[in-house]
């Protein structure tokens, strides 16, 4: 049996954890939502904007009309490079 997850903050946290486990720190939103690594959870479909609103550590890049790339946000450096 699977457990449905529909809380956007929890989905964002799970997505962030999954991205940390990936070498490039990014994945398409559809791949994240349907990832077998989330078993036994069933993630409710969510808009990429909702993920970014729920976590300041995530960022999105739009690919085409309906494919969003979710990635870990790069930490901002203050003062720039020396």
Q: Higher pLDDT residue, 1 or 37? A: 37
All domains of the chain, ordered by start, with CATH? 3-72 (1.10.10)
Cα distances from 72 to residues 1, 28, 33, 40, 41, in angstroms, run 30, 12, 16, 24, 22
β-partners of residue 51 are: none
Mean pLDDT of the chain: 89
Has residue 82 got a pLDDT over 60? no
With pLDDT > 70 as the criterion, what percentage of the chain qualifies? 93
pLDDT at 63 over 70: yes
Does 2 score more than 90 pLDDT? no
Look at residue 77 and tell me whether its pLDDT is greater than 90: no
């Amino acid at each position: 049996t699977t457990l449905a997850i529909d809380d956007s903050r929890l989905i964002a946290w799970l997505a962030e954890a999954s991205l940390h486990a990936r070498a490039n720190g990014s994945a398409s939103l559809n791949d994240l939502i349907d990832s077998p690594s989330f078993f036994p959870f069933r993630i409710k479909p969510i808009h990429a904007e909702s993920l970014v609103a729920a976590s300041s550590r995530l960022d999105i890049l739009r690919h085409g009309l309906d494919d969003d790339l979710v990635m870990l946000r790069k930490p901002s450096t203050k003062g720039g490079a020396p």
